[in-house]
Amino acid sequence: MRLLALTAEEELAVGELAELLGESQPNVSRHAAPLRQAGLIVVRKHGTRTLLRASDDASVDVVVADALASGHALCEAEGSLARIAEVVRTRDMAGREFFARPGESPVHRLPTELATYLRVLRPLMGHGSFASFAIDAGTGDGGLLDVLAPVFERVVAIDRSAQQIARARERVELRGYDNVTFVLGELDEADVVQAAGKGADAVFAIRLLHHAPRPAAVMGKLADLCRVGGAVVVVDYAAHDDESMRDQADLWLGFEPAELTRFARAAGLHKAEVTTIPEGMGGRGPDGHLSWQFMAAWKLESKDGTKTSQRVTSNGGKAKHHG
């Protein structure tokens, strides 16, 4: 019951569950086996790690719902429920340290993945208002700004690393872009929310999710920064098994298209479409050998249910997956 309750709160690795439960990893796997067979938890391999989460319909059965409630109470009493937040923070530490290092790629050059950045604009073409306001969430060294700044009237570039903001600012100054505003902070912090105002026409997150301790939560924050009728565009890796990418602070070895569309649905986004990026367009960085993909999804209504009158169509090319 405790294992079921914890996996209902967060998708967790077997090692993380062992730490939370004070059990050995073999014991966690042994307890997980019958839950998996009963369809109560979903188990998936992610490189060398095994991840567990409660299935979406686990609580439909009244007996299971009662077990979940009992497990939740047990975990709350022993403190393991509260320690999930610490597990998530631990995931995040390597990424913070990695992006605090001095950058290696010279910002005076155009990014080698420029073709990819241009490709992800295609679903937005034909929507005149989309040339107004864009947000670059997790701007890094500002490579995407070489596409957004010349196209959009106004761009807000966000990053939580002061070192990355400094590099992106250097790029912007070298190019002479005068329409980019930088904000240092997390996606849901007050300064970022204020800069977003009523929301951007398009919110871009380029290779951000695989660094996020909770990618589904990040998708929700991206949606919050988007206006009703606007689009959220995500570029990330397809699922892979290259464990060496963890040296680049990658928490997740890419995503299946169904995962991205599931994140989008949970964030209240609609018409999510995942498209494969042609091989060779990923640039010459340490991740250039991986398969890349992008998802465009639309915010058709606000949290209070207000809907857009805009008719949204997709012309992003051949898609691998629709959600």
Q: Please report the pLDDT score of residue 25 as a whole number.
A: 93
Q: Please report the pLDDT score of residue 316 as a whole number.
A: 42
Q: Please report the pLDDT score of residue 315 as a whole number.
A: 43
The angle that helices 215-224 and 257-266 make with each other, rounded to 10 degrees, is 50
Read off the pLDDT of residues 45-75 as tens digits, 9 standing for 90 and up: 888 889 999 998 887 888 999 999 999 999 9
Number of other CB atoms surrounding residue 284 within 10 Å: 11
Q: Please report the pLDDT score of residue 314 as a whole number.
A: 45
For residues 161-190, b (16+ Cβ closer than 10 Å) or e, as one string?
beebbbbbbbbbeebebebbebbbeebeee
Count of residues for the chain? 323
Q: Which whole-number Å values give the CA distances from 17 to 242, 243, 247, in the listed order?
A: 24, 21, 23
CA distance 199 to 196: 5
Read off the pLDDT of residues 290-305 as tens digits, 9 standing for 90 and up: 999 999 999 998 776 6
Q: Please report the pLDDT score of residue 103 as a whole number.
A: 62
Could you tell me where the DSSP H helices lie in the chain?
2-9, 14-21, 25-37, 62-78, 84-99, 114-119, 145-151, 162-175, 190-196, 215-224, 257-266
* DSSP 8-state assignment for residue 213: S
> What tokens were used for 318?
């051949």
For the chain, list the domains and their CATH numbers. 2-82 (1.10.10.10), 114-322 (3.40.50.150)
The single residue listed with the structure tokens 């979940």 is 68
Residues in the chain where the model's pLDDT stays below 50? 311, 313-320
Q: Please report the pLDDT score of residue 168 as a whole number.
A: 95
Q: Please report the pLDDT score of residue 128 as a whole number.
A: 59
Q: Please report the pLDDT score of residue 109 as a whole number.
A: 78
pTM of the model: 0.80
